[in-house]
Structures are given as structure tokens and as C-alpha cells.
């Protein structure tokens, strides 16, 4: 059944936000700030007020059941998951940002927003909402959603995991918590800024970029001695970084190739 054409009905839809978690709290705040009639975010067990649009900000595993429960002729139902296909929802709207719940509406301004729609009118609604909130909508089809979301997780979630590993490696020096993050954060910010402005090849510095495998081996020995649980991660990142460095190697470096890393035997923690 075709859903009602919201975009044709109202350029300023009312929105019912469901799920008072990290994203729902911020989205509802931003919709109000943008001047849209906004209900919620409603919590589990609360009735969902009727609106032109019902926007689900609930865990991915809850989406299908909620769409089935809330389905009615008078509302378009959208979800905000990055990885989840449309399923029975009318549209999807995934802000490409990380939210903890206490952010101000400005966090949405200028960020990307993956949109999808079951029909042109639903896609237009998702695009219109993204525009209204100051985001930059781009289309992601169902078959690419998991890949798209994997990219988002690598860029954001796994970056946090990497910094946690860096913190762990500072612990034996007696640097921990706030102190460790305070000295690491400027390095992380400059690195991200360089990557964003100049691309990965230009942003890469350090021993692997210099072809200094002796230093990488000393680093690896230290990791094995002080944080052996990080060795598989260290080795995987070093291998991937060698591949990146190889993309940028200048001809003289190519003529005198960097010594290959130690043979596979004994490279992994056991
Ligand atoms: N956080 C982000 O950075 C971010 C970014 C982009 C997209 N998203 C998407 O936003 C969605 C929500 O993620 P989140 O990070 O905001 O999760 P979250 O912080 O765990 O919030 C989910 C909220 O949904 C509520 N909920 C669960 N079932 C419900 C129901 N049947 N009725 C009403 N509320 C219900 C939960 O309540 P209870 O606590 O009672 O379970 C919780 O408050 C996901 O699809 C996610 O992919 C999140």
C-alpha cells in the first residue's frame, strides 16, 4: 500500500519522535529549534502522539515491531538506523554523526545524512527533514546500507577503540585517564584534521611512512611486553599502514624497498 504523500501535504510536517535515548533526545530538540511541531521523544510504554511523521529513534532490533505497531494511514514512519534496510518503514534518515544525548541542535548543521525512501514522496520527506535540520542528505540504497554503516563504525566507533588502546599503552608510564587523554587529544585532532584536509597519503607520518622498520620492531616488542593483548591489533594496523605507505612511496624508496616485517611465525601473540 502506498503511504500518504507528506511532502505534498505539508512542507512543515509535525513530527512524533519515539525513543528518548541518545539520538531521539537531540533530534527532538533540533526539530523544535527548527520550528516544527514536535512531540516526544516518547519513552517505552508511553502512547505515541499522532503526527504527520513518526520518527523512530529506537535500537535497530526494535524497528520492525514498532513499524508494525504504529502503522496507520495518517503518518509516514521513518527510522534513523544506518545499517537497517527500509523493511516496512516508509523512509530512513541516518545522521552521520555521533550523539551522546546532550548535544545542541547545531551539531547537525553541515553533517551528512543518509536518506532512503520507499516511494518518491517518502524520500522527499526524508530529504526535506534533513534539509530543515541543516544536514546534507545523500541517498544510500538498501543493498549498501551495511557497507555504509561499516564505514561509519570504522570512522567513529573504532577510532574510540584505537584511542582506548593508546591510553592503555600509556598506563605503564603512570599516565592514565584524563592526563593520558589530555596529551593524546591534540595529536588525534591534528591527525584527523590533516587527513580530512589533505587525504591519507599526505597525512601519514611516523616510522612506517619513513620506512623505519627497526623502530616498528622496537614498538612491537614494547607492546608485547606491556600490553600483549593489543598485539593482534598492532600487527593488523601496522600491515594496513604499510599498504598505505606503499601507495605513496617515491621512486627512490621503491628502488630500495623497506625490509619486510618479520616472518609470520612468532609474529602473533600466543
Ligand atoms: N547515538 C548515535 O550516535 C546515533 C547516530 C546515528 C543514528 N543512531 C540511530 O538511532 C537509533 C537509536 O540509537 P541511540 O544511540 O539513540 O540508542 P539509545 O541511546 O539506546 O536509545 C534508544 C532509546 O529507545 C528506547 N526504546 C526502546 N524500545 C522502545 C519502545 N518500544 N518504545 C519507546 N522507546 C523505546 C530506549 O528506551 P529504554 O532505555 O527503556 O530501552 C532508549 O531510550 C538507532 O537506530 C541508531 O542506529 C544513533
Residues 85 and 126 in one domain: yes
CA–CA–CA angle 186, 111, 13 (5° rounding): 145
Residue position matching grid coordinates 591527525:
191
pLDDT in tens, 17-53: 999 999 999 999 999 999 999 999 999 999 999 999 9
Report the separation in Å between the CA atom of 112 and the middle of ligand 1, taken as the mean of its atom positions.
Answer: 20
Residues 242 and 209 in one domain: yes
Q: Pocket residues for ligand 1 (CB within 6 Å)?
A: 18-24, 42-44, 57-60, 62, 66, 80-82, 94-95, 98-99
SS3 label, residue 116: strand
Which of 20, 43, 59, 108 is the best mutation target for the ligand 1 pocket, counting ligand atoms within 8 Å of the beta carbon and taking the most?
59
Report the separation in Å between the CA atom of 236 and the middle of ligand 1, taken as the mean of its atom positions.
Answer: 32
Residue 111 domain-assigned (yes or no): yes
Task: Indicate which residue's Cα is closest to atom 21 of ligand 1.
Answer: 21
- Side-chain-facing half-sphere of 164: CA atoms under 13 Å: 9
Residue 165 domain-assigned (yes or no): yes
Yes or no: say if 116 and 141 are a contact pair by the CB < 8 Å rule: yes
Q: How far apart are CA 30 and CA 49, in angstroms?
A: 18
Q: How far apart are CA 87 and CA 118, in angstroms?
A: 9
- Least confident among 112-116, 184-188, 218-222, 264-268: 264-268
| Residue 125 parent element (H or E) | helix 120-132
More confident residue, 264 or 173: 173
Report the separation in Å between the CA atom of 62 and the middle of ligand 1, taken as the mean of its atom positions.
Answer: 9
When divided into structural domains, the chain yields a total of: 2
- The widest CA-to-CA distance across the chain, in whole angstroms, is 70
Residue 245 domain-assigned (yes or no): yes
Residues 26 and 71 in one domain: yes
Residues 117 and 41 in one domain: yes
What pTM did the predictor assign? 0.88
The atom number, within ligand 1, closest to the CA of 79 reads 45
Yes or no: say if 13 and 31 are a contact pair by the CB < 8 Å rule: no
Report the separation in Å between the CA atom of 23 and the middle of ligand 1, taken as the mean of its atom positions.
Answer: 7
Q: How far apart are CA 52 and CA 236, in angstroms?
A: 48
pLDDT in tens, 84-123: 999 999 999 999 999 999 999 999 999 999 999 999 999 9
Q: How far apart are CA 4 and CA 6, in angstroms?
A: 6
Amino acid at each position: 500500500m502506498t503511504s500518504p504523500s507528506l511532502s505534498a501535504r505539508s512542507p512543515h510536517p509535525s513530527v512524533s519522535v519515539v525513543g528518548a535515548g541518545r539520538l531521539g533526545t537531540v533530534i527532538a530538540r533540533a526539530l523544535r529549534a527548527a520550528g516544527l511541531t514536535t512531540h516526544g521523544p516518547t519513552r517505552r510504554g508511553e502512547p505515541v502522539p499522532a503526527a504527520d511523521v513518526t520518527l523512530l529513534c529506537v535500537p535497530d532490533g526494535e524497528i520492525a515491531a514498532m513499524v508494525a505497531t504504529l502503522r496507520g494511514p495518517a503518518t509516514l514512519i521513518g527510522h534513523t538506523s544506518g545499517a537497517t534496510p527500509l523493511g516496512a518503514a516508509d523512509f530512513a534518515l541516518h545522521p552521520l554523526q555521533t550523539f551522546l544525548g546532550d548535544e545542541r541542535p547545531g551539531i547537525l548543521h553541515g553533517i551528512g545524512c543518509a536518506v532512503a525512501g520507499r516511494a518518491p514522496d517518502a524520500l522527499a520527506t526524508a530529504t526535506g527533514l534533513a534539509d530543515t535540520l541543516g544536514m546534507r542528505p545523500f541517498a544510500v540504497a538498501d543493498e549498501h546500507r551495511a557497507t555504509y554503516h561499516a564505514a561509519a563504525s570504522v570512522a567513529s566507533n573504532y577510532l574510540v577503540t584505537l584511542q582506548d588502546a593508546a591510553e592503555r599503552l600509556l598506563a605503564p608510564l603512570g599516565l592514565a585517564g584524563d592526563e593520558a587523554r589530555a596529551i593524546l587529544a591534540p595529536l588525534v585532532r591534528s591527525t584527523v584534521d590533516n587527513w580530512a584536509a589533505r587525504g591519507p597519503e599526505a597525512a601519514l607520518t611516523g616510522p612506517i611512512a619513513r620506512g623505519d622498520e627497526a623502530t616498528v620492531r622496537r614498538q612491537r616488542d614494547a607492546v608485547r611486553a606491556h600490553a600483549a593483548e593489543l598485539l593482534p591489533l598492532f600487527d593488523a594496523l601496522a600491515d594496513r599502514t604499510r599498504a598505505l605507505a606503499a601507495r605513496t612511496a617515491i621512486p627512490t624508496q621503491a628502488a630500495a624497498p623497506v625490509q619486510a616485517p618479520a616472518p609470520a611465525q612468532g609474529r602473533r601473540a600466543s
